[in-house]
Amino acid sequence: MKLLQNSGIPIYKQIAEQLKSDILSGKMKEGEYLPSIRGLAQELRISVITTMKAYEELQAEGLVTAVQGKGFYVNAQDTELRREQHMRKVEEALGEAIKAAEVAGLSDQELVETLQTLIEFSRS
């Protein structure tokens, strides 16, 4: 797990986002336990409270469940919900690309061609 100290994003949010991404991508499976709070805190050299806050955020989103004495495990994920959340990420990234294209002075056609080229390269 990579944490950026000077990113402006709180550490607990960075942890929660990375774990959320792993869960929604299927990298972490239903029923799989997250690393222990203390273990992750030691590994990342951060506070146990910071780790706990990240896990509580995931729990509030319904992605994980806490089991007394055992830790947090991944809940079953609705595939439609997972697709919708991925779609939201794509929309955000494309929105940023559109803004960057405007700053660079690219036409809509040039932006579309760039996207098509990137798609072709990523599939080869």
Q: Encoding tokens for residue 12?
A: 């607990």
Q: Is residue 40 part of a domain?
A: yes
Domain that holds residue 66: 11-74
- The answer on 69 and 18 residing in a single domain is yes
| pLDDT over 80 at 122, yes or no | yes
The reply to whether 19 and 35 lie within a common domain is yes
Higher-pLDDT residue of 114 and 80 is: 114
Q: Which of 38, 55, 74 is the last residue of a domain?
A: 74
Q: Record the pTM.
A: 0.66
CB atoms within 10 A of CB 35: 17
pLDDT, average across residues 25-46: 93
Distances (CA, A) of 29 to 21, 24, 36, 52, 124: 12, 9, 16, 20, 28
- How large is the angle between the packed helices 108-123 and 79-104, nearest 10 degrees? 130
> What is the number of structural domains in the chain?
2
Residue 59's pLDDT band (cuts 50, 70, 90): very high
Does residue 37 form part of some domain?
A: yes
| Residue that wins the pLDDT comparison between 82 and 42 | 42
For 24-44, what is the mean pLDDT? Answer: 93
